[in-house]
Structure 1
């Protein structure tokens, strides 16, 4: 079997949210190695996006954006649509975490995490639905991959209430999206990484 052909992403266009560092940046490296034609990355911090684009070259396009609002999800989709007529792969990787004792856990900590970890993947997928459908066929479906966490399946020892809730939610939201979007030849899956050493995961470091 030609494994290179099996895993090839030649001719594909992808969007990776949270693509400037951590797991998102790992996706960038892997997709480049697999021959992905063009990769869009987005994250909140302009300097991090620009640094990743500079590191990997002209197949990477950076669009800084805070995806915690529906308005910005639609804005990002609009910017992609100005450049592309289809999108083969969407990686919903952008994420946030918050830890605070139960007695003091704040609404801000709850909303920040749920907005970026649950609301954003749904509304960004919705906003990009047309471009994903344009890329999809029975022979070569479009793909949406939601990045969950093992913390959506078991407890960690910290007071991360909204993070646990959000990562449990994204796993079940993936099932619901998958059941709907398969009609459009879009396959929706989720992965649940463990404790990668990253800027976000201080405990793993």
Structure 2
């Protein structure tokens, strides 16, 4: 009765930050539940490609590496362009890529603040916007497309580490 409750059979997903950690686990979970294709992206090409190869070998679906730095608008546009070129639709977008920066309060640099804010806050919004057409193309009343935003619990309490922009 519940056999297909969590089935992702035939669906296409994109997981940012998919080469390791939570992103890799999400990609593996999607493939385990029958996703046809799971695209993963990360800045480090070798790690991204190794994870895609590992997950493709372990599951029936295909894991495809798209090593792109999505911390900039150019990277976001490049990733969205690759997805649109390869797929007519996108069923699931997981905004998981993230960064942290720690430094003493008196030394905390604007570049560290910007790196965290750009990847953790700006990228999910603009990547979702860039892929909205692909998500809409996949969506139906019976089976809507999904956008999943991964966030940290560090924003709900005062972190003892000096990671000010990460908590934001």
TM-score, scaled relative to structure 1? 0.78
Q: Which residue of 1 aligns with 2:125?
A: 122
The within-5 A match list for 1:107-146 is 107-146=110-149
Q: Report the Cα offset of residue 25 of structure 1.
A: 0.3
Structure 2 unmatched runs, 5+: none
Measured on the aligned residues, the alpha-carbon RMSD in Å equals: 0.9
Cα shift at 1:26: 0.5
3-state secondary structure, aligned to 1:137: coil
What SS class does the counterpart of residue 39 from structure 1 fall into?
Answer: strand
* Equivalent-residue separation in structure 1 for 2:151 and 2:67 (angstroms): 22
C-alpha deviations, 1:139-161, integer Å up to 9, x for none?
Answer: 11100000101112122211000
C-alpha distance in 1, partners of 2:157/2:33?
A: 33
The equivalent of 2:108 in structure 1 is: 105
- Give TM-score scaled by structure 2 length: 0.95
Instruction: Please say which of residues 79-88 and 149-158 is displaced more in the overlay.
Output: 149-158
Q: Any idea what the Cα deviations from partners look like across 1:105-153, whole Å, max 9, x if unmatched?
A: 0001100000100010011001000000000111111000001011121
Distance 2:28 2:134 in 1: 23
Show the counterpart of 2:35: 36
Partner of 2:153: 150
Matched position secondary structure for 2:14: strand
1:79 aligns with 2:94: no
Q: In structure 2, what is the equivalent of residue 13 of structure 1? A: 12
- The aligned residue for residue 48 of structure 2 is 49
Q: Which structure 1 segments of 5+ residues have no match?
A: 166-205
- Counterpart secondary structure, 1:71: helix
Query: How far apart in 1 are the matches of 2:157 and 2:35?
Result: 34
Cα deviation code 1:87-107 (max 9, x no counterpart): 000000000000101111000
Distance 1:109 1:115 in 2: 10
- Counterpart CA distance in 2 for 1:28 and 1:55 is 11
Q: Supply the distance in 2 between the matched residues of 1:94 and 1:6 (Cα, whole angstroms).
A: 27
User: Secondary structure, in 3 states, of the residue corresponding to 1:67?
Assistant: coil
